[in-house]
């Protein structure tokens, strides 16, 4: 089945180019030049990934992402003509999964799309595989997490970091290890993004960095999952 990609960008020529290029790789591409129209579309249709420009009319990409993250965990790749590292940090803080500055090679965008969707593919996993740590329940098959019975909305990147830590209990995972695992984002340009992503994850887990139940910072080395795990697979 074709993966559905939504492009939100007011550059009509770029939309045409991406539609033509991605369609050659069996992606079903829909484009919207107006962000409000895109949000209306998403209220009625399901997509597998969103390509979102920062500079948009009526509301910018950050506002669109804020709106999306209220109730959707669809992977989002942000596009920007800006070279400001802070824009990348803001995008990650709001829940973007990847960031690509304009101009870019379509092949690079394709590689990032494939990387994100590959990480989201759970067809090879055991549907009964679950991990529990206290009130935290992680289903490794459908890539969901619950805290005290309430589902946590995790972005692809947040889930990948949590999964990496849980699959390596008690081991200190360095930022370099996380960079190696979470491919796609231009990590070298903004190393701090690892800390931003972990901070967002902690907030969703209601985990106090000073007195952690799950994720402990090992200063100068990285992060460690310290929760007591019980395999329910």
Q: Which residue among 88, 120, 152 closes a domain?
A: 120
d(CA 140, CA 101): 32
Q: Which residue among 120, 142, 177 closes a domain?
A: 120
Among 127-141, 161-175, 207-221, the minimum mean pLDDT is found in: 127-141
Nearest to 191 by CA among 178, 208, 210: 178
Question: Which residues span the domain enclosing 44?
Answer: 3-120
| 201 inside domain | yes
- CA 14 to chain centroid, in Å, comes to 23
How many domains does the chain contain in total? 2
- Averaged pLDDT score across all residues of the chain: 84
110 in the same domain as 14: yes
145 in the same domain as 63: no
Cβ atoms of residues 209 and 217 within 8 Å: yes
What's the maximum distance between 2 C-alpha atoms anywhere in the chain? 52
Which percentage of the chain shows pLDDT scores above 90? 40
3-state secondary structure of 166: helix
Cβ atoms of residues 90 and 69 within 8 Å: no
Residue 64, token pair as written in the block: 């669109």
Residue 16, token pair as written in the block: 């045409």
**How many residues are present in the chain?**
233
Q: Which helix (DSSP H) or strand (DSSP E) does residue 65 occupy?
A: helix 61-68
User: What are the tens digits of pLDDT across the range 156-172?
Assistant: 778 888 988 988 887 89
Average pLDDT over residues 110-126: 69
Using the predicted structure, report yes or no on whether residue 122 has a pLDDT greater than 50.
no
d(CA 223, CA 199): 11
| 10 inside domain | yes
Q: Residue 181 maps to which CATH number?
A: 1.10.10.10
204 preceded by a cis bond (ω within 30 of 0): no
| pTM beyond 0.85, yes or no | no
Nearest to 176 by CA among 222, 226, 217: 222
User: What are the tens digits of pLDDT across the range 86-102?
Assistant: 777 777 778 888 888 88
More confident of the two residues 143 and 134: 134
| 125 inside domain | no
Average pLDDT over residues 34-40: 96
3-state secondary structure of 174: coil
């Amino acid at each position: 089945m074709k993966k559905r990609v939504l492009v939100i960008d007011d550059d009509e020529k770029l939309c045409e180019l991406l539609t033509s290029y991605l369609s050659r790789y069996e992606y079903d591409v829909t484009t919207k030049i107006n962000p409000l129209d895109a949000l209306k579309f998403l209220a009625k249709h399901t997509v597998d990934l969103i390509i979102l420009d920062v500079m948009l009319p009526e509301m910018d990409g950050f506002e669109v992402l804020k709106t999306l993250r209220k109730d959707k965990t669809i992977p989002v790749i942000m596009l920007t003509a800006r070279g400001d590292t802070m824009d990348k940090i803001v995008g990650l803080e709001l829940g973007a999964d990847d960031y690509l500055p304009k101009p870019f090679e379509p092949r690079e965008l394709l590689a990032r799309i494939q990387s994100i969707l590959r990480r989201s593919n759970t067809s090879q996993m055991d549907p009964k595989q679950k991990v529990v740590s206290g009130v935290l329940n992680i289903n490794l098959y459908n890539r969901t997490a619950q805290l005290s019975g309430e589902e946590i909305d995790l972005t692809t990147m947040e889930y990948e970091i949590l999964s990496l830590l849980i699959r390596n209990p008690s081991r200190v995972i360095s930022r370099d290890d996380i960079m190696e695992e979470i491919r796609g984002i231009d990590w070298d340009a903004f190393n701090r993004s690892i800390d931003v992503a972990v901070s967002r994850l902690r907030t969703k887990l209601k985990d106090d960095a000073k007195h952690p139940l799950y994720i402990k910072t090992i200063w100068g080395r990285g992060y460690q999952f310290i929760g007591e795990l019980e395999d329910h697979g």
